[in-house]
Amino acid sequence: MTLPRGIVHVEQLPVEGQRVFVRVDLNVPLTKDKERKVADDSRITAVLPTIEHLVKRGARIVLGSHLGRPDGQVKPELTLEPVAARLAELLGQEVVLADEPAGDGARKVVGDLREGQIGMLENLRFHPGEEENDDTFARQLASYCDIYVNDAFGTAHRAHASTAGMVRHVSQKGAGYVMAKEIDILSRLLGEVDRPYLAVVGGAKVSDKIEVLDALLDRVNAIAIGGAMANTFLTAQGKNLGKSKVEADKLAMARNFLRKASEKNVTVHLPTDVVVASGLDAEDSQIVAIDEHPGPLMALDIGPATVEAYRAAIARARTVFWNGPMGVFEKPRFAAGTVAVARAMADNRLALTVVGGGDSAAAVVQAGVADRVTHVSTGGGASLEFIQGLELPGIAALAAG
Ligand code: ADP
Ligand code: MG
C-alpha cells in the first residue's frame, strides 16, 4: 500500500500504552421501533481492524463518532448506546460509553482506561462545537489523547472539530485501515491508470453530478450515462422522453458537457433503449427504443440493448469508476440495468473496478458482488469529492506537518 501526501498508516504509529483517539464513522441506521437497535452493522465491522490492531498493541482507545443529525443538541434517541453495545458484542470486549462528547464525564472515562481498553465518547454532534469546528471543543477532544487516528473516510470531506480542528493540537497522527485503503485506491484513479478508463455515471440528477462529470472528462476515455440523468442528456439531444424525469433547466448544461466531451475526445455512451412504465409502482413495464415516443410513460431503467453496450464497454475497460444507479434499482422491476453494471464490473478481472456513492454502493451489495470489485468506497460524498481531485479537510489534516 502506498499512502501519498505524507500520511502515516496506523501500523506505523507508536501506540503502545498511549491514549489514541480514533475518529470512526459509526453513523449506522437504527431500527425505527422503541428499541432503537443497530439495523445494519457494516460501518461497525468496517472499523474493527483498526480497533483490534490498537487493542493488540496495548493502546488506550478513545472512539469518537457522530450519529444522525442532532444539530448540536442532546437528542436522547441519537445516543451511541446501541452502537457501543453492538461493538462490544463484536469485539467480545467492554466498550465504556461516556455520557457526553466532552466534559467531566468524558475525561473520567478516558482517564480510567487501561492498556487495551476501549472508551467511546457520546455522539460528537450533541455538541455544537463539532460541526462548527470550534477550537475550544477541538482542544478539549485533543486533550483526551496523545495520538490521533482517522478511520472515518465518509466524513473526511467535512471540516469538523473531530476530523480537522483537533488534529493540529495532537503531535502524532495517522490513517486507520479504512481510511488508508480509501486513499490508496481512490488516489490511483487520479494518477496514471491502465486504459481504456471508463466512467459509468447515473443517479438522480445531472445537477448533483455535473462537477464529477466535468472532472472525469479530463481523465477518462469514455463515459456511459444512465439513470434519470440520462433523460436530461437525451432531451438535450432532441429526443422525446414522454413523462420521464427531465431537468428542463439543465439542458444547456447537458449540451455544453457533450460539446466539451467531444472536444476532449471522450466517448459518451447514452441509452439507446429504456424500460418505461406509468410510475414507480406500476404493475407492468415495456421496453422502448429512444427514438420511439414513450407516450405518457416514464423511463425508469436502461433497456437490454443499452445494458449490452455498457456491459461490452465495461469488459473492454482496464479501469472503471462507477457512480450512480442506472435506474430505480430500489424496485426489482427497474433494477436490471444497475445489477447488470455491477455484475459486469465484477466479471472484469483485469480492471481496477471502483464504486463510489451511497446508493451505488448499496446496489453493489444488493447485486451480491461487493467482494468481487476492487473497491467499494465507504464514503458517498467524500469519494465523489476525492475523485474530482478536491482536497478533503480530514485527509489534508492527516498530512499537515
Ligand atoms: P449515489 O448515491 O450512488 O451517488 P444518486 O443519489 O445520485 O446515486 O442517485 C440514486 C437515485 O437515483 C436512486 O434513488 C434511484 O432510484 C434514482 N434513479 C435512478 N434512475 C432513475 C430514473 N430513471 N428515474 C427516477 N429516478 C432514478
Ligand atoms: Mg444518493
Task: HSE, CB side, 13 Å, CA atoms: give it for residue 162.
Answer: 30
Separation CA 312–CA 25 (nearest Å): 37
Please give the domain boundaries of the chain with CATH numbers for all domains: 10-183+392-399 (3.40.50.1260), 189-368 (3.40.50.1260)
User: What pTM was computed for the model?
Assistant: 0.92
Q: Note the pLDDT of residue 34.
A: 84
Cβ atoms 275, 302 nearer than 8 A: yes
CA of 215 to the centre of ligand 2 (A): 19
Catalytic residue among 43, 158, 181, 311: 43
- CB of 228 closer than 6 angstroms to any ligand 1 atom: yes
Residue 17 gets the label, from left (phi > 0), alpha (psi -120 to 50) or beta, of left
Is 331 an active-site residue? no
Q: Measured from the CA of 230, which atom of ligand 1 is nearest?
A: 23
Asked whether 59 and 116 are in contact (CB, 8 A), the reply is: yes
Q: Is the CB of 338 under 6 A from ligand 1?
A: no
pLDDT of residue 244: 94
| Residue 295 to residue 329: CA distance in whole angstroms | 23
Q: How far is it, in rounded angstroms, from Cα 359 to Cα 204?
A: 10
Task: Note the ligand closest to the C-alpha atom of 298.
Answer: 1
C-beta of 383 in contact with ligand 1 (< 6 A) = no
Please give the DSSP secondary-structure letter assigned to residue 295: T
Per-residue model confidence (pLDDT) at position 3: 81
Closest residue by Cα to atom 5, ligand 1, is 203
76 contacts: CB under 8 Å, gap ≥ 6? none
The answer to whether 306 and 274 have CB atoms below 8 angstroms apart is: yes
Probe target for ligand 1 pocket from 157, 359, 377, 385, with the most ligand atoms within 8 Å of CB: 359
- Cβ–ligand 1 distance for 327 under 6 Å, the answer yes
Ligand 1 proximity of 365 Cβ (cutoff 6 Å):
no
The reply to whether ligand 1 has any atom less than 6 angstroms from the CB of 203 is yes
Among the bound ligands, name the one nearest to the CA of residue 329: 1
Q: Which is the closest atom of ligand 1 to the Cα of 360?
A: 3
Q: How far is the CA of 360 from the centre of ligand 2 (A)?
A: 8
Element (H, E) at 81: helix 81-91
* Cβ atoms within 10 Å of 18's Cβ, excluding its own: 18
| 202 noted as active-site residue | no
List CB contacts of 67: < 8 A, sequence separation 6 or more. 26, 27, 28, 78, 79, 80, 83, 123, 125
H-state helical runs in 143-289: 177-190, 206-217, 227-236, 251-263
Count of CB atoms within 10 A of residue 305's CB?
15
Residue from 17, 72, 105, 358 carrying the catalytic annotation: 358
Is 125 considered catalytic here?
no
Nearest ligand to residue 325 Cα: 1
Q: Nearest ligand to the C-alpha of residue 334?
A: 1
| CA of 359 relative to ligand 2 center, distance in Å | 5
Q: Which residue among the candidates 36, 37, 107, 205 is catalytic per the annotation?
A: 205
380-387 helix and 177-190 helix, angle to the nearest 10 degrees: 40
Each residue's pLDDT expressed in tens, for the chain with a length of 401 residues: 778 778 999 999 999 999 999 999 999 999 988 888 999 998 999 999 999 999 999 999 999 999 999 999 999 999 999 999 999 999 999 999 999 999 999 999 999 999 999 999 999 999 999 999 999 999 999 999 999 999 999 999 999 999 999 999 999 999 999 999 999 999 999 999 999 999 999 999 998 899 999 999 999 999 999 999 999 999 999 999 999 999 999 999 999 999 999 999 999 999 999 999 999 999 999 999 999 988 899 999 999 999 999 999 999 999 999 999 999 999 999 999 999 999 999 999 999 999 998 899 999 999 999 999 999 998 888 999 999 999 999 999 999 76
Would you call 99 exposed, middle or buried from its count of C-beta atoms within 10 A (0-12, 13-18, 19+)?
Answer: middle
Query: Does 250 participate in catalysis according to the annotation?
Result: no
